[in-house]
Structure 1
Amino acid sequence: MTHYMAELALTGQPVLVVGGGKVARRKLTGLLQTGARITVIAPQVCEAIKQLDQQEQIAWQMDHFSADLLDGQQPGQPHWRLVFAATGEAPLNRQIATLCAAKGLLCNSADGTTENGFHVPAMVRQGPITIGVATGGLSPALSRILKSRVEAALEPGWGGLVTLFGAMRDEVKRRLPQAQSRYTFWRQIALDAEAQQRFESTDNRNWFNKQLNAAEKGQEEH
């Protein structure tokens, strides 16, 4: 079976993490960057999670897991957007995953259960760039090794270049109103960025503007 990889917009969305140990802490590392509203349910948590609760980055509910907790944070509220079964007990993780499947909730289980669930890829982040490496849950250890290789191959300036491209999108749309002209421009400037190794440059805005001026002039001539 082939898994479908996607980026989820979780800002302001309710996410549940069941567990308070090292596994739960690892899950929180990536979640904290998304702006999700994270609730941790566990009778006890490690010091790192306790500090996150004190800093109001998460909400720790000091309780044992029960099935009714999957119904939402308050009666009448929608189900959790995502659930992470990250306890140190494999049978409990499987139970949570099974209950989530019955309720149509997406669950990531630390023991690898995938029934109606999902895996979290090993991720390389650089600014707005996110590259995920996944093995369908078959070998998380190899995912981490491959992630290290990708990380080493990704030159440090690409994130800044992507940020610049994003900041200029409205300007490009204004100056190149024809969709085909914009498509050609973005494709060519991306190819030029790689060929000229612009990720090493500190003067990319001037370079970008020159490219855009030339594209605008070419559009007028046609």
Structure 2
Amino acid sequence: MSSNYPIMIQLEGKKVVVVGGGKVAERKVSGLLVSGARVVMISPKATEKLQELFEAGKIEWLQRPFCDVDLKGAFMVFAATNDSRVNQLIKESVEPHQLVMIVDDPDSSDFHLPAVVYRGRLSIAVSTGGASPTLSKKIRAQLEREFDDQYAEYLEFLFMKRKWIIGQVADPALKRSLLTAIVSDDFLHSLDREGDFQRLYEELIY
């Protein structure tokens, strides 16, 4: 049995087509908007939330049935209708370079979406390879409790300090020491990370 290859894809500004306007499509669109993708939804009808996203200018909506020209220029495609024949037509219409997910036919899809925990820059994905989406959700709930909201702010601190250390610290040994030290429970739970970092830096250079 071959395993899926886990990657994190940059979708900022890329065209992603979602065919369908129901609850399943709604979940896909909501996740895609977080990534910064340019979402184009194709469906004669849409849920209230999807209509609100369209009216707010967050997604494009082609209010009609799917046709193959809709996929032109798309990087990724979601076949999320409640009609398996339409979903298969979408699968047959994609170009070789386009990635497609068919919601009712995972075995024919190019990719699957894991259960994800987001904490700012931190993304934790869980997949059971299609064996049990319910277990994926259960594990995600456990991770959400373990990695709470403080991680969002902590990741911003790590991001900024890593940039500063790499750009300003020339000594390789000092650089390694600082990068290792800030990834610790002390800094995670600190109420004054900037002050603690300054004190650590001064201790290490003297």
Whether TM exceeds 0.5 here: the answer is yes
1:142-168: per-residue Cα shift (whole Å, max 9, x none)? 211111111111133222111011112
Counterparts of residues 22-61 of structure 1 (less than 5 Å): 22-61=23-62
The alpha-carbon distance between structure 1 residues 172 and 54, as it changes in their structure 2 partners (threshold 3 A), is same
Match of 2:156?
163
Q: Aligned pair count? A: 205
The alpha-carbon distance between structure 1 residues 80 and 183, as it changes in their structure 2 partners (threshold 3 A), is farther
Whether the 8 Å CA contact 1:97–1:117 is kept in 2: the answer is no
Pairing partner for 1:83 from 66, 69, 77: 77
TM-score by length of 1: 0.84
Structure 1 counterpart of 2:8, one-letter code:
E
| Displacement after TM superposition at 1:104 (Å) | 2.5
TM-score by length of 2: 0.90
Q: How far apart are the structure 2 equivalents of 1:199 and 1:185?
A: 14
Match of 1:96?
90
Q: For 1:168, what is the secondary structure of its paired residue?
A: helix
Q: How far apart are the structure 1 equivalents of 2:17 and 2:36?
A: 13
| Displacement after TM superposition at 1:114 (Å) | 4.0
Q: For 1:138, what is the secondary structure of its paired residue?
A: coil
Match of 1:76?
none
The alpha-carbon distance between structure 1 residues 185 and 56, as it changes in their structure 2 partners (threshold 3 A), is same
Whether the 8 Å CA contact 2:122–2:155 is kept in 1: the answer is yes
1:115-173: per-residue Cα shift (whole Å, max 9, x none)? 46111111101111111111122322221111111111113322211101111233212
Structure 2 portions without partners, runs of 5+: none
Whether the 8 Å CA contact 2:11–2:36 is kept in 1: the answer is yes
The alpha-carbon distance between structure 1 residues 185 and 200, as it changes in their structure 2 partners (threshold 3 A), is closer
Runs of 4+ in structure 1 off by over 4 angstroms are none
Structure 2 counterpart of 1:203, one-letter code:
D
Pairing partner for 1:173 from 166, 171, 175: 166
Q: How far apart are the structure 2 equivalents of 1:24 and 1:84?
A: 8
Counterparts of residues 107-122 of structure 1 (less than 5 Å): 107-115=100-108, 117-122=110-115
Whether the 8 Å CA contact 2:102–2:108 is kept in 1: the answer is no
Identity %: 28
Whether the 8 Å CA contact 2:126–2:136 is kept in 1: the answer is yes
Q: For 1:9, what is the secondary structure of its paired residue?
A: coil
Q: For 1:119, what is the secondary structure of its paired residue?
A: coil
Q: How far apart are the structure 1 equivalents of 2:65 and 2:171?
A: 58
Structure 1 portions without partners, runs of 5+: 73-78
Residues 1:202 and 2:171 are matched in the alignment:
no
Structure 1 counterpart of 2:41, one-letter code:
V
Q: For 2:139, what is the secondary structure of its paired residue?
A: helix
| Displacement after TM superposition at 1:52 (Å) | 0.8
